[in-house]
Amino acid sequence: MAKKVLLIRLSSLGDVIHTIPLANSLKSAGYEITWLVSEKGIQVLEGNPCVDKVILAPVQLWKKRGPSLKSFKEYLSILKQLRSEHFDIAIDVQMMLKSLYWMAFCGAKRRIISKQAREFSILGANEVIPRITEHLNSPVIRNYMKYADYLGVNTDKIKVTLPERSGEVKAKVDELLKDIKKPLVVIAPATTWAPKHWNKDHWKKVVEGIKPNCTIVFTGGPKDNELISYIGGDEFLNLAGKTDVMELAEVFSRADIVLAPDSGSAHLAWATQKPAVVTIFTCTPLKYLAPPGDEKKYIAVTGNLSCQPCFKRKCKLGTNACTNLPEPQEIINIVNKLLEKDRNVV
């Protein structure tokens, strides 16, 4: 009988995607995989071949609701479900306070965490492995794979998978993109950290520099419409707020190029394994978070300031100077070169 593994990785979308190769490695080695996840990542896991079962912890709902008896009862019900699975191994990839209680009380015989765990989450484990991140030049996906290394699993290959998109999803995207004639460049300019946003005037210049050679489509959430309107002048198709995660993945899978800051969108585009992905890094570490693989297809760009990468949500210098780099012409050149390469292939 296959040994049962519980992966605890609640959020965010990008972090969940970074953990999928770990799940695939364990699954390929014969383990039965259950994943505890929150609302932000559940769509990329339900129906994903990397897992056998997905359990939702509605963290965002509980936050919105506030402390309540109802939430506590829901928590206990999920915990009871976890314990009924009789896991052989639990791995806390979240490594934060929000995962401590799940880890401590899930009932797994072996509860494994890295020494770098924060916010007392190490207390939920009974096996502690060395730090999985020694420096920010080590790709985060490879770092997570160290849990598989610890279990003696071969991790030579990074395999990322997504659920198959339904016919309904494909039909909706067919309709959304029905007027696309030229090569498709999708721009997803927004993310959750303000310091990860690239200068919006730079985005405008990029749009002007590439639009003769392609069709541009914008994506994002409902809150991103003002930014997108500024960048694109309402000249292009704007899908912000019009797609869920799987529909967005389908849009990315139809694209030739996706442009984005370091964001869930960039990582989702990479996970489709279809478009070239150009990722712009400001305050976050490129070598740590850049989509891995063919460097001619997955291109990450950053500035050369001495303070980069600070990996902080707020600029200590108060300048946000990193958001002005790289220069827009560098991105224009990269995109047009990729488009020219595609035309030559055809």
Those residues with Cβ within 8 angstroms of residue 197's Cβ, 6 or more apart along the chain or in another chain: 189, 190, 191, 261, 282, 323
Backbone dihedral region of 152: left (phi > 0), alpha (psi from -120 to 50 degrees) or beta?
left
pLDDT tens column, 217-275: 999 999 999 999 999 999 999 999 999 999 999 999 999 999 999 999 999 999 999 99
236, 97: one domain: no
**Residue 182 φ/ψ, nearest 5 degrees:** -90, 175
* Inter-residue contact 148 to 29 (CB < 8 Å): yes
145, 171: one domain: no
110, 141: one domain: yes
192, 336: one domain: yes
30, 173: one domain: no
Those residues with Cβ within 8 angstroms of residue 60's Cβ, 6 or more apart along the chain or in another chain: 38, 39, 40
Residue 113, strand partner residues? 128
24, 141: one domain: yes
Say which amino acid occupies 344: N
Residue 216 lies in a domain: yes
Residue 156 lies in a domain: no
17, 107: one domain: yes
Backbone dihedral region of 334: left (phi > 0), alpha (psi from -120 to 50 degrees) or beta?
alpha
Per-residue pLDDT at 342: 67
Sign of CA dihedral 216, 200, 259, 247: negative
Residue 28 lies in a domain: yes
Closest of 133, 132, 161, 160 to residue 147, by C-alpha: 132
190, 141: one domain: no
Residue 158 lies in a domain: no
146, 216: one domain: no
Residue 335 lies in a domain: yes
Closest of 338, 340, 322, 252 to residue 280, by C-alpha: 322
* Inter-residue contact 12 to 264 (CB < 8 Å): yes
Per-residue pLDDT at 344: 60
123, 188: one domain: no
Residue 162 lies in a domain: no
- Torsion angle (degrees, nearest 10) of CA 287, 291, 296, 299: -70
Sign of CA dihedral 287, 288, 291, 293: positive
Per-residue pLDDT at 2: 87
Residues of the chain scoring pLDDT < 50? 346
For residue 215, the surrounding DSSP H or E stretch is: strand 215-218
Cα 208 from Cα 194, distance rounded (Å):
24
Cα 167 from Cα 169, distance rounded (Å):
5
Per-residue pLDDT at 346: 44
CATH number at residue 305: 3.40.50.2000
Those residues with Cβ within 8 angstroms of residue 196's Cβ, 6 or more apart along the chain or in another chain: 261, 262, 263, 282, 283, 284
71, 186: one domain: no
133, 179: one domain: no
Residue 161 lies in a domain: no
pLDDT tens column, 3-41: 999 999 998 999 999 999 999 999 999 999 999 999 999
H and E: helices and strands count for the chain: 13, 12
Cis peptide leading into residue 121 (ω within 30°): no
Domain range for 210 is: 167-345
Last residue of a domain, one of 150, 176, 206: 150
Residue 252 lies in a domain: yes
Structural domain count, the chain: 2
